[in-house]
Amino acid sequence: MLNSLSIQNYALIDHLKVSFTNGFTIITGETGAGKSILLGGLGLVLGNRADLGALRDATTKCIIEANFDVEKYDLKTFFEENDLDYEPKTIIRREILPSGKSRAFINDSPVTLDVLSQLGDSLIDIHSQHQTLQLADNDFQLKVIDALADNSALLLVYGDQLVSYQKSEKSLKKLLAFQENATKEYEYNSHLLKELETAPLKQGVIEELEEQYEQLSNVETIVEQLSKGHQLLNDEQVGVLTAMTELKLASNKLATFGSQFETLNERILSAFLELDDISSELDVLQEKTEANPLLLEEINSKLQLLYNLQKKHGATDIAELIAIRESLSEKVSATENVALDIKKATQELVTKEKDLEAIALKIRENRIKIIPVLQKQLTESLSQLGMPSASFKIEIHPSEIFTNKGKDALLFLFAANKGSSYGDLKKVASGGELSRIMLTIKAILARYEQLPTMMFDEIDTGVSGEISNKMGDIMQAMSTTMQVFSITHLPQVAAKGASHFKVFKEEEGMITNTKMKKLSSDERIIELAEMLGGKNISDSAVAHAKQLLG
């Protein structure tokens, strides 16, 4: 409920602060006194767009602040999702700066107008005679029926499953799109992968092949140098091993004359053995090394293949080629497996669709059962409001698609008179009839769910005294479970309020101010008497006013 409202520097309002209570609150005032200004200020704090021209003093900012009791509205999730501090007594503030910028705050946290508007929709429903388009909205019509049908729990389950279904549907579409694109690339990717799989891709392979290529390309030089080395070691006249043999014999004789000679002998012997081993290896390498044109050609082919693959794929080394091969392998494998994934995803979607259909069907069954109840309540209420022949024809037609409200489309038809054919509600009902229908529907809704604060702005315009009396009764009945405001010109309605505020203009020097005050019991009598008979209050008007107030 709305606990208090403060407005500074807005239109004809210099400073206004007023507190409200629960129940039925009446707001009256002469035409032009500023009731629309009050609603405009309230609209700003609920998320309406700001107009710089609304500033009373263009050099000072406008501040509008409203204090709400939100404990009954189950809004904790909304506050959490928008990273806001939840307070049972929530303060909303709107500022319009002289620069034209606008700022909004919820419990002192800055918010966007979108967030403010979402919260505002949950806190106050401002309804005037000209705001009846909601009646023709399919979602609003379903909301009314679902409230009576007690579908809230089912709709929560349905909503969760709808999200899951939509995710699966999106996943399947993604797989199908992938398959369509991947199939076009499959053959090309398979060809590239086959090329890379037949290539000898391993770390160091190019260095290894280049070494083999160099050896096979220079066989004659290698054999010649190996032979020369072997000859230098083994020549009978001047060979190194021949000289080392003589040196070994001499060192053996020296070894018997002391430890230092023995150590020298060991070193000479070690050098001899190493040279002898080198000689053997030179001999073996010379025997193994031979020309092999076929192997040379094979190695050259492998090198050229690797060089070409590096160039083709823009790779700087073998590691990058290996990474490209793995990537292509994944793409080809994914394309080959996507058919299986699509089949699995399709089966999953079909299962979820069946589950969703079952819940939607249960929701529809509940709606169908409650429609006669709703039609009866509407007809009876409208009969009391001067529409005795009004009747409704509400039809449910299965929809082709899942919506956030189920799988139904509503046909909400209306006939104002006996013998009249049923037609689209917004086309066949007059403005006054639409106002009474909306009031009736809101009253019915109030019996089944917690509604936000309701503010009726001259909804009773153009109706007779007796009908306005009935409309007042309905609003008064609604106020037993919720906060209801009525801005009215009719004394029959004004008399039914638990509290009564008057909006008026007051001239202070050359400046006109719009003000608002709560009326005392005596002041209410005077206000009602003026509403009944004008400024020149008669005794009969006062008596009538007292009678209306009971």
pLDDT tens for the chain, residues 1 to 550:
999 999 999 988 989 999 999 999 999 988 877 888 888 889 999 988 887 778 888 889 999 999 999 998 889 999 999 999 999 999 999 999 988 889 999 999 999 999 999 999 899 988 876 566 677 778 888 989 999 999 999 999 999 999 999 999 999 998 888 877 777 676 677 777 787 878 878 887 878 887 778 777 878 888 788 878 877 878 777 678 878 887 888 888 888 788 888 888 889 888 888 888 888 888 888 777 777 778 788 888 888 878 888 888 888 888 888 888 888 777 777 776 788 888 999 999 999 999 999 999 999 999 999 999 999 999 999 998 888 999 999 999 998 899 999 999 888 899 988 888 888 887 888 877 888 888 899 899 888 888 899 999 888 777 777 888 899 999 999 999 999 999 999 999 999 999 999 999 988 878 889 999 999 999 999 999 999 888 888 889 899 999 988 8
Taking 3-state DSSP, the helix, strand and coil percentages for the chain, each rounded to the nearest 5, stand at 60, 20, 20
173: enclosing H helix or E strand: helix 152-198
What six digits make up the tokens of 252?
A: 């053996």
**C-alpha atoms less than 13 angstroms from C-alpha of 280 in its C-beta half-sphere:** 6
Per-residue confidence (pLDDT) for residue 528, from 0 to 100:
94
Alpha carbon distance 429, 549 (integer Å)? 33
Residue 7: phi, psi to the nearest 5? -130, 130
Per-residue confidence (pLDDT) for residue 94, from 0 to 100:
94
What six digits make up the tokens of 193?
A: 């992968």
Exposure class string for 94-110: b at 16+ Cβ within 10 A, else e: bbbeeeeebebbbeeee
Alpha carbon distance 43, 22 (integer Å)? 20
DSSP assignment string, 272-332:
HHHHHHHHHHHHHHHHH----HHHHHHHHHHHHHHHHHHHHHT-SSHHHHHHHHHHHHHHH
What six digits make up the tokens of 136?
A: 């023709």
Which burial class, exposed, middle or buried, applies to 301 when counting CB atoms under 10 A from its CB (0-12, 13-18, 19+)? exposed
What six digits make up the tokens of 374?
A: 């709703």
Q: At what angle do helices 138-149 and 318-384 cross, to 10 degrees?
A: 70
Per-residue confidence (pLDDT) for residue 95, from 0 to 100:
93
Predicted structure pTM score: 0.69
**C-alpha atoms less than 13 angstroms from C-alpha of 549 in its C-beta half-sphere:** 21
SS3 assignment, position 55: strand
- Contact call for residues 367 and 154 (beta carbons, < 8 A): no
Torsion angle in degrees (nearest 10) through CA of 536, 541, 545, 550: 160
Whose tokens are 């000209």? That residue is 130
- Contact call for residues 24 and 484 (beta carbons, < 8 A): yes
Exposure class string for 47-77: b at 16+ Cβ within 10 A, else e: bbebeeebbbeeeebbbbbbbbbbeebebee
Whose tokens are 């008979």? That residue is 533
What domains does the chain contain, in order, with CATH numbers? 1-129+450-519 (3.40.50.300), 180-336 (no CATH), 521-550 (no CATH)
What six digits make up the tokens of 424?
A: 């689209």
Per-residue confidence (pLDDT) for residue 234, from 0 to 100:
80
